[in-house]
Amino acid sequence: MRTVILVLGASGQIGTELTEKLRLLYGNNNVIASDIREGNTELMTSGPFEIIDATDKAAILTVIHKYSVTQVYLLAAMLSATAEKMPQKAWNLNMNSLLAVLDLAKEKHIEKIYWPSSIAVFGPTTPKQNTPQKTVMEPSTVYGISKVSGEFWCNYYHDKFGVDVRSLRYPGIISWKTKPGGGTTDYAVDIYFKALKDKKYECFLSENTTLPMMYMNDAVNATIQLMQADTKDIKIRNGYNLAAMSFTPKEIAAEIKKHIPDFEITYNPDFRQEIADSWPQTIDDSQARKDWNWEHKFDLESMTKDILESLKKQKK
């Protein structure tokens, strides 16, 4: 049976690199990239590209029929910081897109769904260290509320209708090819660009704010590994905890300084500090490691080296 994948939100931070990797694995014409806006030239020319509003179930179905799509990766979402400013819009996008895709699977138009959850499902009452797979989920952000509700919907559609939906609770994802937008963990991406360009960075979180993070290469691999895992090994249908590293702004700045000795960081915390303070600092992802052999490759040191080298090469 041929696998044909539709990526919704393919122009975004994770969507861009995930689509690139999926095209390598499944063939360019078997991975349909889509977004509400156009993406980079590479994404739009290396395989099929469709403009789709991820909340428009009929539009998604038209594309599913057009290409005989078998799997949907739903990456379209509004992240934590933007969602605090536009709660209703965030709820509509994050929930309606998920419900549309879950319904399409329930109606047997597709066989498998990937939907990302986040560490934002946790809140101030959750244990902060080594946060367990199953624990208190009382988020204090609009984004977190949408993610925790989404997790319950995934579980519900799996239990009631047998929908094969799989999900990961992403930590902050760090990349250099496409920048994220509107997240609380985004400082850990911006800092590399500013370090190379200006040799200084003003951080919107305080120096000792520890957050769980992951390099994009690991996040893309985890996502594809989860989707390729045997159904019998998938024991969690709401969202798997996933971890690689945890660090503070002060620690990432110190790592960058090893490569750019005159780099300076200053701190000017804003409303995002409260969001960061409500999230866990370290995550226990032993269930993912046990169920489908998840293993991360990058730590702060190897990621920093890789990002700075890649950005320097790109500039040449």
Residues marked active site are found at 143
Least distance from C-beta 26 to ligand AKB, angstroms? Answer: 26
**At 118, phi and psi to the nearest 5?**
-160, 160
Q: Produce one character per residue of 82-121: b if its CB has 16 or more CB atoms within 10 Å, e if not.
A: bbbeeeeebbebbbebbebbbbbbeeebbebbbbbbbbbb
Least distance from C-beta 279 to ligand AKB, angstroms? Answer: 7
C-alpha dihedral sign at 30, 227, 10, 101? positive
Least distance from C-beta 116 to ligand AKB, angstroms? Answer: 8
Query: Distance (Å, rounded) from C-alpha 213 to C-alpha 246?
Result: 6
Determine which helix (DSSP H) or strand (DSSP E) holds 148, and give its type and residue range.
helix 142-161
- 55 vs 185 by CB, closer to ligand AKB: 185
- 143 vs 176 by CB, closer to ligand AKB: 143
- 71 vs 80 by CB, closer to ligand AKB: 80
Least distance from C-beta 271 to ligand AKB, angstroms? Answer: 13
Q: Is 27 left (phi over 0), alpha (psi -120 to 50) or beta?
A: left
- 34 vs 80 by CB, closer to ligand AKB: 80
Tokens of 54: 């991820």
Which residue is closest to ligand AKB by CB? 183
DSSP state of 295: -
Interacting residue ranges for ligand AKB, rule: CB under 6 A: 79-80, 118-120, 143, 170, 172, 183-185
Q: In angstroms, what CA-CA distances link 246 with 79, 130, 138? A: 20, 11, 22
Least distance from C-beta 77 to ligand AKB, angstroms? Answer: 8
- 16 vs 80 by CB, closer to ligand AKB: 80
The answer to whether the CB of 259 falls within 8 A of the CB of 308 is yes
